[in-house]
Structures are given as structure tokens and as C-alpha cells.
Copies of this chain bind each other. A is one copy, B any other.
């Protein structure tokens, strides 16, 4: 059930089989599997999983193209709660390994916060990535269009940009270099905006010229458009660049600081996992965007199934009919 502060108190003495950090696509899939394996689970969700921002999910088998990410999450939560899983709105601050169990300190409530400690035998880290738009903070109207025709994921939405006049809102010189091999496969009609925040090397300028891409270093004043459809940008010098679509190079921060005390093996910001999604700690799994691999809803959902099934294999044991005979008849 969705835990209120009152119900939370009753859970303080309980040891869950698994605590899942994050109620996005991966965490919900793991929770559904765990509950169906007759294991007790708690999902601690801070809200706003990455897929919450997906205005249109186009590539997940079984859902009609264009389904909103938040709709997937809502259905998933209902599904999980219908299986008697526990769900707590909160923010995991720290995980301590107590040997047989983990003690997980959670911040609950933005005001008058409380800091309950919950316990579980296994941990699934499904807290993913937090995106941010570091250089465009002053242009709040970016949120009018982000996730609509101003895309944030190349793999997900490259197709939607096919052969359109596209603005690429770069975060760094490296993001431009990468973009040449990614975005241009979908559309060659690319205008790159640096917002004047970093210099572009002479060598890269030559390459851009060779490919015929435009480079605009003048800062942007605002995005133009209506009804969530971006139609171009206005620069601070007053000029207007018409666009049909855009791609923002988002900054990303892995959300796993609560595991810092556990010295898990990492590769870059990612957690290293084996094919069962297990980290270097035998009772901690990492799924979805936190682990090395492709950041996609479909992959996170599969990871959830794999990690939950492995935990079941480690916790299950045979039950005897004869012990239960009185209950059976």
C-alpha cells in the first residue's frame, strides 16, 4: 500500500525481502515481479522518474505510440499496489550494510521531515539519472517544449526529427562531436547553438563547415512557439532562427550517492553489474540507467524482471504439505 506516516511507523520493525530505490520503469517492474514471487518489497520513490518527463513514449512494445511516460508510471504503480507492494514517497539518504540486512535512512516530507530507518535483506538501486539543463537555466520557457518537439533523447526520438530543420543545443564541444555521428543520421539540416558558453575549436569549425552545419554562438533569448510546439529561437541580438525540431544535450547526474559508503565497483558514473544486474555487493542489484548499458524503458523493465527473479532464487525454499495440513483442509 501507499504508506502514510502512520503506516510507516508500523513498518519500522519489519525486514523487507527487498527495498527498491526508485519508482521508475525499472523499479516498478522489479516490484511487480517480487510481489508475484511472494516476497515483500518496498519501493521508495522521490517522484519524477526520468520517464515522467517523456511526453510521448514511442518505442515500448505493447503501448500505443505516443503514450505519456507518466501514464506508464501511474499504471505501473497501480499494478504494483494491487499486488500488495509497499510504496513510500521519500528520498533515500543513506544505506548501511548491517550484514544480514541493510538499514536505509529515508527522508520523508519536504516540510517537518522525518527520517525513518527501514530494513531489507536485498537492495535494488533503480534511482536512475537526474537530467539537468545547466546552461539554459535562465530560459525557463524551455520546459514548454522539452519532451515535445524539443527532444532530449536521441535513441528515443531521432526518428521524429527525420529530415527536419533541427536545432542542436550543445552542452560542450564533445557533445557536438558526438552529435555529428548521431543526429545527422536522422537529419542533415542542423543548426548548432552554443549559447556562447564555450569556445569551439578551429578544427571542429572546419568539420562543421565541411558537413554544412550552421554554428550559432550568440546567446539565446528564448524559445519561440505555442502549444508545446517549438518553432524556433530568438537570439539576444533580436534575430530569429526558425526551426522545426530540436535536440537538447542534457547534463546527467547518476543518482546513487546513498550508496557511497558501500564502495561498489563503478565505471565512470555507472555501477558495474553482471548479467543478473548484480553489483560488486552480493545483495545489491542496480538496474536501468544506473548500470552500464542502454538507457531505455524497455531495458530497465527487463532488468527489473532479471534482478527480482535472481533474488527469488536466493530466498525461496521448499514448503512441506504435512506442516500445512491443518490449514489445507
**A→B interface (CB under 8 Å):** 25, 28-29, 32-33, 35-38, 58-65, 67, 72, 75-76, 79, 82-83, 155, 158-159, 162, 165, 180-182, 184-190, 210-213, 275, 293-294, 296, 298-306, 309, 312, 316-325, 328
A185–B38 CB distance below 8 A: yes
Task: Name the one of B181, B212, B301, B322 contacting A321, with C-beta atoms under 8 angstroms.
Answer: B212
A210–B301 CB distance below 8 A: no
B211–A318 CB distance below 8 A: yes
Given contacts A37-B159, A301-B301, 6 further A-B contacts (CB under 8 A): A33-B59, A37-B185, A38-B159, A64-B75, A213-B321, A298-B305
B38–A62 CB distance below 8 A: no
A275–B293 CB distance below 8 A: yes
B189–A328 CB distance below 8 A: yes
Q: Known: A159-B37, A305-B294, A321-B212. Is A62-B65 also a contact (CB below 8 A)?
A: no
B36–A158 CB distance below 8 A: yes
Number of chain copies forming the complex: 2
Residues in B neighbouring A293, C-beta threshold 8 A: 275, 306
Residues in B neighbouring A65, C-beta threshold 8 A: 79, 82
B302–A303 CB distance below 8 A: yes
A60–B59 CB distance below 8 A: no
Residues in B neighbouring A25, C-beta threshold 8 A: 61
B320–A210 CB distance below 8 A: yes
Nearest CB of chain B from residue A220's CB, rounded to whole Å: 21
B309–A155 CB distance below 8 A: yes
* Measured CA separation A165–B182 after assembly (Å): 56
